[in-house]
Amino acid sequence: MHAFAYCRPAALADALRELAADAEARPLAGGQTLLPVMRARLAAPSRLVDLARVRELTGIAAAPGGLRLGAMETHAAIAEHPAVKRLAPALARLAGGIGDPQVRNRGTIGGSLANNDPAACYPAALLALGAAIETDRRTLAAEDFFTGLFATALAPGELVVAVQVPAAPAAAYVKFPQPASRFALVGAFVLRTEAGYRVAITGGGMGVFRWTEAEAALDSGATGADLAGVPLDPELFTGDLHASARYRRALARVAVARALADPAFAA
């Protein structure tokens, strides 16, 4: 790891000032991605602004219509929180399946969203749920926030503050984990509301996306078994040593079908 300066502000305004003062500074959330990346010398920030004590970034609470999750809340905290389990049980289970217990005890939702790994779990949930991402200066719809591979709408020095998640009783997430990293080889988050189905796929390789053709088919009465014939753009999938693009695309159909078989959709 290259040398860097370190600071640990206690207030959001101070963290933003530190980031604004140095274009090469990076915020440090749980560090479960950033620190390994720095150790591999794939990133060499001049300064780390540790967000661990920034009080405005914490808290999990029921909010009008759903939940508000502070950016620095860990996967473990979200997985175990009674309000999340009650209002968005699929999101709690998703959080409880990220990485491994030790990673879940450190990794944060804000860090995961800002990183937007194309195989991360949260982006699929937020896109399907129609969640909103609060930053220090604006609120963005999930579909405007995730802009591509490891890319988001965040401006330099802009921090995720919290995530607003609508209550979602009828939803499920199914992922095929890559066995070593436990990232999604492919994951599918399916939501059903009065307005219809929403289906988001992560792990394809080009970044999270909504499978709108499947949503339309399900709205018209199709079932998981019918998804084999529903168009799914091959350009949204790439191959690597873990899985070919064709295999990932096939897994996406299976993941959605399995999600639809979740008891959450029985009612």
Stretch that binds other proteins, among 93-101, 119-127, 140-148, 221-229 (CB under 8 A): 93-101
Q: Which is nearer to other proteins, 46 or 220 (CB)?
A: 46
Contact between 111 and 57 (Cβ < 8 Å): no
Which pair of tokens denotes residue 120? Answer: 């991360």
**Within positions 206 to 245, which residues make up the interface with other proteins, using CB under 8 A?**
none
Stretch that binds other proteins, among 5-13, 19-27, 59-67, 116-124 (CB under 8 A): 5-13
Q: How many residues bind other proteins (CB under 8 A)?
A: 28
Question: Which distant-in-sequence residues (6+ apart) come within 8 Å of 244 by Cβ?
Answer: none
CB atoms within 10 A of CB 5: 12
CB of 12 to other proteins, least distance (A): 19
CB of 188 to other proteins, least distance (A): 21
Burial class (CB in 10 A: 0-12, 13-18, 19+), 250: middle
Q: Which is nearer to other proteins, 6 or 266 (CB)?
A: 6
d(CA 65, CA 79): 19
Contacting residue, 48, 71, 125, 159, with other proteins by CB under 8 A = 48
Give pairs for 141-147: CB < 8 Å, separation 24+: 143/210, 145/113, 146/116, 146/207, 146/208, 147/116, 147/207
Binding site for other proteins (CB under 8 A): 1-6, 8, 28, 31-32, 35-36, 39, 48, 50, 52, 76, 80, 99-103, 105-106, 180-182
